Structure 1
Amino acid sequence: MNVTVLGASGRTGRLLVQELLRRGHRVTALVRDPSRAPEGTRVVVGDSRDGEALRAALAGADAVVSALGPSGKDADLHRETVALLAPALRAAGVRRYVGISGAGVTAAGDRKRLRDRAISTAMGWFAPSMVADKAAELAAWQDTGAEWTLVRPPRLLEGPATGRVEHDAHVSTRSTGMRRADLAVFLADVLDRGLYVRQAPFAATAGRRS
């Protein structure tokens, strides 16, 4: 499969690219700095909000996976990205999109644990712009005809993949953290197995407590 990866040079993005290449996929990496592009990829230089770069990165793609995480520097990163990306996907004939949201985002039908409801409320107080951006991203994808999935992990952690991931469409995880390496594998699984289409599942490294 030809997979375009957004945020390919970041901490999660690099792990994701490695996992996709390991599985035999051909990867196009959209990066701002070509010197940081992962090896083994077709490189397109640009930003996720650069329409011309997006069109170049989507040429020949079968799917897009985004490793763009929350941005403290740019409060509108994700809503602006989807505003350009969704029509670009339609124009390129690409239907599948897998991205990263956050456990602090609430979707219709959620059954969050009391702990997680409290965390979501606190995030709304302390990081309102970030939460609003990710919520707007979810709402925007819901209004498209794309086969999208937005994975909602809790706090991201370093360390090797454990191979133990708990996930559910609406029930928040028992675990309070997720290793980036586990997230990369789960994103690839969601893509390869067609999991959670038009849903925003919670996911975490099983057994992880803060």
Structure 2
Amino acid sequence: MKVALFGATGRVGQLVHQKLGDANVEVTALVRDPSRLHSPAKTIVGDARNYEKIVETLQDADAVISCLSTDKSDVLSDVTPKLIRAMKHAHLQRIITIGTAGILQSREEPRKLRFQTDESKRGLTRASLEHEKAWQALLLSNLDWTIVCPTYLPDGEEKGTYRVEENFLPLDGKLISTADTANFVCEVFKKQLHSKKRVGISY
């Protein structure tokens, strides 16, 4: 399998990149600064906002993994529609992305998302709004998508044991390490899990 990887120099993306390499998965990563990658791989140097660079990154890929963050801007709402268009043009179906627990359903008010209720403890909703726009674009795309939605995401070692739940954050979930989030992303990819679902993950 060949994977087109976006966000490979981020906190989770670097770990996903390393795990895929360790599993002998062929990776093409779109990055602005290749020196930030900790393991060798095929790289396309450029910005994910550039449609032509997205197309180049998808060439010969079998699936897409995006670990792009909001980057305190509109990067997700800008890039996601371009990525969807490029995937359709390349006849690619499978995409796994990193979201946020804010776009999971609220347990207290199931018709609302967590960031729209007091269930989310974060005072700022800008990042969740960006992730919601990306999710809505995927919903309308007919692609085979999965959005991995971690809660509080500190750096930390891989424990290998955690809880996951489709469309909701596991009950009383407080945090999940970057390493275990990366591990789960790779499991979803390898085992083709959680098609067209948002998946909450926490300890």
Same structural fold, with TM-score higher than 0.5 when normalized by the shorter chain:
yes
**2:137 is the counterpart of 1:140:** yes
Q: Which residue of 2 aligns with 1:61?
A: 61
Structure 1: give runs of 5+ residues left out of the alignment. Answer: none
Seen in structure 2, the aligned counterparts of structure 1 residues 98 and 6 have a Cα distance that, compared at 3 Å, is: same
TM-score, length of structure 1 as denominator length? 0.88
Partner SS state of residue 155, structure 1: coil
Q: CA RMSD in A?
A: 1.6
1:112/1:170 contact within 8 Å kept: no
Whole-angstrom distance in 1 between the partners of 2:182 and 2:90:
25
C-alpha distance in 2, partners of 1:100/1:163?
18
Matched with 1:153 is 150
Deviations 1:30-61 (CA, angstroms, capped at 9, x unpaired): 10112223422100011211111101100010
Of 74, 92, 95, the residue aligned with 2:93 is: 95
Of residues 112, 127, 143, the one that matches 2:107 is 112
Amino acid at match of 2:134: E
Query: Are 2:38 and 1:43 equivalent residues in the alignment?
Result: no
Task: Assess, with a 3 A threshold, how the Cα gap between structure 1 residues 135 and 182 changes in structure 2: closer, same or farther.
Answer: same
**What is the match of residue 197 of structure 2?**
199
Aligned residue pair count: 196
Per the TM alignment, residue 202 of structure 1 is displaced from its structure 2 partner at its CA by 0.5
> Percent same amino acid at aligned positions?
28
Partner Cα distance (1:31, 1:113) in 2 = 40
Conserved in 2, the CA contact under 8 Å of 1:6 and 1:66? yes
Match status 1:12 vs 2:12: yes
Contact 1:97/1:149 (8 A) holds in 2: yes
- Which of 174, 177, 180 matches 2:175? 177
The Cα offsets for residues 5-50 of structure 1, whole Å up to 9 and x where unpaired, read as 1010112111101111111201111101122234221000112111
Do the aligned residues in 2 keep the contact of 1:111 with 1:170 (CA within 8 Å)? no
Amino acid aligned to 1:54: I
Q: Matched residues in 2 for 1:112 and 1:38: separation?
A: 39
1:164 equivalenced with 2:186 (yes/no): no
For the 8 Å contact 2:65–2:97, the answer to whether it is kept is yes
| Alpha-carbon distance between aligned partners in 1 of 2:26 and 2:14, rounded to the nearest angstrom | 14
Asked if the contact 2:3–2:64 (Cα under 8 Å) also holds between the matched residues in 1, the reply is yes
Kindly provide the amino acid, as one letter, of the partner of residue 157 in structure 1.
P
Instruction: State the 1:111 CA deviation.
Output: 5.1
